[in-house]
Structure 1
Amino acid sequence: MKKVLSSLAIASLVTAGIGGQVASAATQNTVGTEVQKSNSKINALSTSVQSQNDEEIFGHYMTFQLGEKYKKLAPVIKNGTFMIPIKTFFTYIESPDYKWDNNLKKLTVTADDKKIEVKVGDKFSTLNGKKKKLDTPLQNINGHIYVPIRFLSEDLGAKVKWSQSEKKVTVIFREFQDIENYYINNKGELGPKISAHLAELRLEQGVKEGRELVHSYVTRNLIDGTGYMTTIHYGKHRTNENIYDIVTEITTDVDKHNTKFTDGRYYIEINNFATMKNKEDMAFTFKEGDTKEFKDRQEILTYTTNKLLDDIGSTQNDE
């Protein structure tokens, strides 16, 4: 007996809202707003392929600009070095723990396997016990301790960009890694890796042929090494009367080496926006919840829509 996502299954999912939420234009006046918000998974699929490294969209960096104030304090440039108050740095940059010893005028920062120590006025710092020369030492400016932002950011593992024209520093503390795109057939067989450009060009062609596009990437915290993997499956499923877009997203925490995947969550969305003839025919539903445990990345990549729906009890028996 084979499990399949049948026409009856899709119809029942849309009608029942797969235990989550369902909307139809005939019964809900606010459907336009709700659909626009919730349909972000489908919209984000193509845009994420195009702009995967645009940190501003995903909020993975912080900028500090000369002349602007952050928590009422402004950055300064001393001896050609861009500096900000230590409290400002640790307010906006995630992950590191820090301790300020007012008696010794000493800053200690720890994150993952890194320990940074530096004193006001010293021309060197230590990273895990090894001395490093500083172009500009920590300084007390109007009662606030200022730190060179490039030194501290890069020692923690973050990346720093400087815009001379804007007098602006950008600290990137998360980035996308291990970005992969595939097609997978309805048997769960993964094809060869394809480029993001090719995935975008052949998205519609692939799903019309009964395949799912798989788009996967790891969002890595550069400071403490933590990360989470996002894997999106996008495909079309046909019934007698409609073609439904179905998007599933699996997100799991992942260790530094991409070998342990924990705390998995799924999100599934079904709609017929592309083929509905009028607003009265609109159907939309989504649901989210915890996933099963995955042994490796390959298992997540090949976790098709049918497999997910089977696990949450939404497939039908094909006699």
Structure 2
Amino acid sequence: MASRHPLIPAVAALLAVATSLPAGADVEEARRLLDEGRAGQALRVLDEQLEGSPQDAEARFLRGLALSRTGRREEAIAVFQKLTRDYPQLPEPYNNLAVIYAQQGDYEQARDALEAALATHPSYATAHENLGDIYAALASASYNRALMLEEGNSTARDKLRVMENLSAGAPAARPTLSGGPASGGSTGSTPAAAASAPDGDGASTSSPTPAGSAPTASSQPAQASGDALATRERISAAIYDWAQAWQNQNIAAYLGAYAPDFTPAGGLSRDAWESQRRDRVGAPDTITVRIRDPEIQIVDAERARVVFTQEYDSDSYSDVTNKVLDMRRVGDRWLIIRETTR
């Protein structure tokens, strides 16, 4: 079952505070780059900021997001785990952990992270919704296992069908976050932060959350922002999963990243192209594929273009190219329909 998991809130705040300070210029620039889908560039800005201010909580928070969007999920997990230790009263880092765990298919850890978020803020509606999605994914997995063990189990099959119908009717996920906790400064105070997210036209909006209030995602602008950011996150995840499958020489997963109507370059037929790719992906002893500075350009609700620098290394060949992937949404997935090199 393809599940949707809106696991990151639309706004972020530090609680129990008395003052509010503006975010630094570098942090604002990093947030803007993240909103534009340029996570690699945002990461460089944040790394420079943290060299001079290693305890800047907002920069740390955004860095975790940038790491996640560039496929460096284990590093992102480490960042958010450290934030939960430094700011145990905040639900946002737990939510970010949950979305990464869900992307990895580890729904038990995602559930635990969301329950920790709700322990800090029981009225956090977004986390309740997210937790419901995780429970649905866990239930679906259990029903599937029951059917594998007992194929004629009609009760389990009916329940699985109900879960699939629920998933089909779920709202679009919002698996990204453009703002984070602000730096507390040398006194240890924790000023409130305003989250910034692009609206439906790609513009940026800011929604300060008053100190002491719980995050919310109920407003229409926030929903529009969340939907646009969710699309970027899905596309980003699809690109990094494609690169990972290539690097792992997982031919089935690699070819599965291409849409049925993918048009190979050079006039090759689809069958000839697949045969060629099977040989080239499977032949080397080792492959390393790195994606640098991906820029996601949303064309419309069904189409997007991703431009990035691709670094390829194998035991017999290395190159660096500028790659363009045109993508189309097929159900819950974003698949490649055209691949070109500039």
TM-score range, shorter chain: under 0.3
Greater strand fraction, Structure 1 or Structure 2: 1
Per the normalisation by structure 2, the TM-score is: 0.27
Per the normalisation by structure 1, the TM-score is: 0.28
- Of the two, which has the highest radius of gyration? 1
Greater helix fraction, Structure 1 or Structure 2: 2
